[in-house]
Every structure is written in structure tokens, then in C-alpha cells.
Structure 1
Amino acid sequence: MEDWPNLLSPTFSPAQMIVFTEKRHTSFNWTPPTITAIPIDLEALSKSSFDITNIAEIPEFKRRAVICAVQELNEKEDRRGFQWVVAGLKCADDGAVLLVVKAVQSG
């Protein structure tokens, strides 16, 4: 799995951090969010805790956008035997949502 190529950032590991920010002048209407893939340290990720209450802090309209973005990511990647899943989540004070996704074997 470690040598499995990552099309989002071919030189990095399969763990990615995605940043969702609200688009300006949309009155909180979310279109498919802009996805920015940022490499992160897998070892640091494994040591971090994922508090499920963080997702409860996200307003419903943002929650749907996050779910849709992960589904869209899986459709675009279209990898046989692998899928992207949420590995961590954090709400920022400015309304942005930081989402960590990781490629795992689907079975």
C-alpha cells in the first residue's frame, strides 16, 4: 500500500488534507468545493485523534458539501480496490473545514 501511487500528488503518500472554504458572495450556497490537496505526515496522522464531535459542529449545508466532495473524489480517482475515506476532520474559526482523507483498500 505504501508504494501505491497517488494521482492527486504523485510524489506524496496516499494521505491528503483537503481544505474547504466558503466561496465569496454565495450567501452560504455551496457548489462543489474547491479541493486543495496538501501532503501530510502519515506518522503524525496516525498519532492524531479524530473527535467525531467535530463533524457535529459543521452546519448541515457544509456537511453535505464535505460528503459530496469525498464522493466526487472517489468518482474522479476511480481506483479499483481502493477508495478515499475520512481520516480526520477539524473546523477552523474562519468557517473553513479541514478534512483529512486517506486511501484504503475497499473490500
Structure 2
Amino acid sequence: LVRDTQQERHFGFSLAQALRRARSHPLLQGYEVHVTPGVRPEPQHMRDIVTCSGGTFLPTLPHVYGPRRLVISCVGDAGCWGPALGANLPLVSPELLLTGVLRQRPE
């Protein structure tokens, strides 16, 4: 296992622990995730991150609430939030997802 204790300390996580958590219970297992078009990394890359983390990628914006359904978005995409807000779907930043995946725990 490659170690980078300086970066682990900087980002506040242990790679070994994160890998153990990812193997035993993937972070997004059971979640359905949609990514709006303006998000960076681009939605096609976020799709890979979501699926590798155990989640299901939703290619279209959901209009119905689901208990484990969320939308990754950015301020630039605020114009498309209406259906998600109307369905009471959580809107979260890509940073939240990426940090959670890095540490393998919701942040």
C-alpha cells in the first residue's frame, strides 16, 4: 500500500482506514445520484466516481423524492434546481462527495 502521511495529515484521513471502509461498506451503496451539467469534475467522470463508490448514477434529474436519492450540483446550475427542490431532494456540492469518497465517510 502506498502511503503519503503528509497528504493524509493535510486532508485529515488515513488511506488504509478509508480502503477498509470502502471494501466493507461502499460510501454510496444504496444511493441514487444525479449530477447536473455544470459540475466539475464533469458528470461523466462523476458517474464513474458514483458507481465505483457503490451508488447508482441517474442520467436524468429526478422529479420524485427517494430516501437515498440526491443531486450533486453547483451554483452555476441553479436554474435547473426547481424539480429537485420541488421533490425535496438534497442538493449537495461536488466537494462534499469528493471529500466523502476520499475519506470514505460522509462529511
Question: Under a length normalisation based on structure 1, what TM-score does the superposition of the two structures give?
Answer: 0.32
Question: Under a length normalisation based on structure 2, what TM-score does the superposition of the two structures give?
Answer: 0.32
Which of the two has greater helix per residue?
2
Higher-Rg member (1/2): 2
